Amino acid sequence: MSMDALFNSVKTHGPVCVGLDTQEGFLPAYLQEKDWSLGEKLFEFNRKIVDATADNAGCYKVQVACYEALGLDGMTAYAKTLQYVRSKGKLVIADIKRGDISSTAKQYARGHFTGDFEADFITVNGYMGEDAVSPYYDYLKAGKGMFLLVKTSNPSSKDFQDLPLEGGELLYQQVAKKVSQWGEAFVGESGFSNIGAVVGLTYPAEFQIIKSLMPHTFFLIPGYGAQGGTGKDIAQVFHDGICGVVNSSRGLITAHKGKTEGEDFDQCVNQAVITMKEDILQWL
């Protein structure tokens, strides 16, 4: 089961998820100056980061938008990045946030759980209900995993996610309970389901409520670093054991900026991963 593998990876390597949301401006000068396509440069950047951080990263997350924006060259870099992470024995989350139903969702599942773009996990928007989630179930039974949006880290998430329902419960709380219910059929040896949840670190009080509603759920936690979340915030979530991975993208993969523009940039990124890992673990 994928979530068992992720749980074990986090126990061994720590809870840092390195976000490979790579953009041209993040590249060190030595790469920008190469006579390569932009996609080739992005992949080389990602490859060096994976090699440097493999011992300190619990997993990697690749945001497809950064690659889609570059057309076929970018999507080649995306595919090669996913394949490279997995070839190194590491787990990768494809951050695709799909949210459709029926045969369309089945095609998304096929497209991102098999073939050129195969990942271990994907992100999915389940706010259309179980019809947007169930087309992935066959892949979950075969060991893949997914993270459903529950409470996102952006400021305007409250526009809809915090709307009150009858009885005083908020919408995101009802979504949390539904996602937990859908995941019950896919709980592995770790006690966590192959259906995880995306919950932002920017709302620590709400996170405590969500965690109480989702006892078998492993979390993908954005909001650390650039968005204001800290290791101390995570300690409140992990107080009775690590139950998620904490993603940082820009805060890690631009760590070399102002320090080096050479091939040793990856060491700055690895040091940033170590610092983040220590910041989280010191509070546990």
Q: Could you write out the DSSP letters of every residue in 33-84?
A: TSSS-HHHHHHHHHHHHHHHHTTT-SEEEEETHHHHTTHHHHHHHHHHHHHH
Distance CA 127, CA 172 (A): 10
Would you state the structure tokens that stand for residue 132, as one six-digit string?
């947007």
Dist CA 12 CA 171 (whole Å): 36
CA distance 162 to 172: 6
Q: Which of 80, 90, 97, 106 is catalytic?
A: 97
Residue for token pair 């997993």 = 59
Q: Cβ-count burial of 272 within 10 angstroms (0-12 exposed, 13-18 middle, 19+ buried)? A: buried
Under DSSP, the state recorded for 150 is: E
The helix or strand, by DSSP H or E, that contains position 136, with its residue range, turns out to be none
- DSSP per residue, 204-262: HHHHHHHHHH-TT--EEE--BGGGSB-HHHHHHHSTTS--EEEEESHHHHTTTTTT--S
Catalytic site residue 11?
no
State the DSSP code for 85. Answer: H
Catalytically active residues are 97
